[in-house]
Copies of this chain bind each other. A is one copy, B any other.
Amino acid sequence: MVSGLFKQNASPDRAQITIREATRADFDDIYALFQHILKEGSTYSYSAEEMTAERSLQYWMEATGTIASIAEDNGVFAGCSALRPNRTGRAHHVANASFIVHPDHRGKGVGAALGEYTLALARKKGYTNMQFNFVVSANEVAVKLWKSLGFVIAGTLPKGFNHATKGLVDVYIMHRPL
């Protein structure tokens, strides 16, 4: 089981973080956090308005091939990931994933735990590569985390994101084989 594998590899300082498969009952937590993050305007391109509950449910849980995972910090919802095919057809071997971490649980290894779990899940599902299409360069915590998990910056999109407080900033495409 992926979850068991992850626990064996976890570092002691995030021993309180557990990851599990999401259920439909988790969606309210996911949606509230996603809306909070979209309103911050510093990491995702989508506007809070366009990401209605219906679209968000598709995005995080119900679109074809999507698998959501939940991070809990001592049993409390702390973040989630969604694994999905980046494209279909002749590129369906490449996975994509999205991550959000609750502001009350940042700096505790939640993102790393979700990242490791989701990479293992992608391998288990038969993907051979993982690609992030839109990592905002100003999101230094995320860039550092993905590098630590084996991703490289495969490309830079100049001024690709209109950051809420920094204005136009570059966007990275990050990639790793699985």
* Chain A residues near B (Cβ < 8 Å): 41, 44-47, 50, 87-91, 93-94, 128-129, 131, 133-134, 153-164, 171, 173, 175, 177
Contacts and interface: CB of A to CB of B under 8 A. Distances in A.
A13 to B, nearest CB: 33
B50 A88 contact: yes
A52 B93 CA distance: 22
Q: How many chain copies does the complex carry?
A: 2
- List of 10 A-B pairs having minimum Cβ-Cβ separation, nearest first: A155-B155, A47-B89, A45-B91, A90-B162, A154-B155, A45-B87, A46-B89, A155-B173, A45-B90, A45-B89
A159 B176 CA distance: 11
B157 A156 contact: no
Given A41-B90, A91-B134, A155-B154, A160 B50 contact: no
Contact of A175 (B94, B157, B162): B157
B89 A129 contact: no
Contacts of A50: 88-89
A124 to B, nearest CB: 20
B156 A155 contact: yes
A161 B92 CA distance: 9
Given A173-B155, A173-B173, A160 B41 contact: no
Given A133-B133, A173-B173, A90 B158 contact: no
Contacts of A93: 162
Nearest to A51: B89
A87 B134 CA distance: 10
A87 B45 CA distance: 7
A153 B154 CA distance: 11
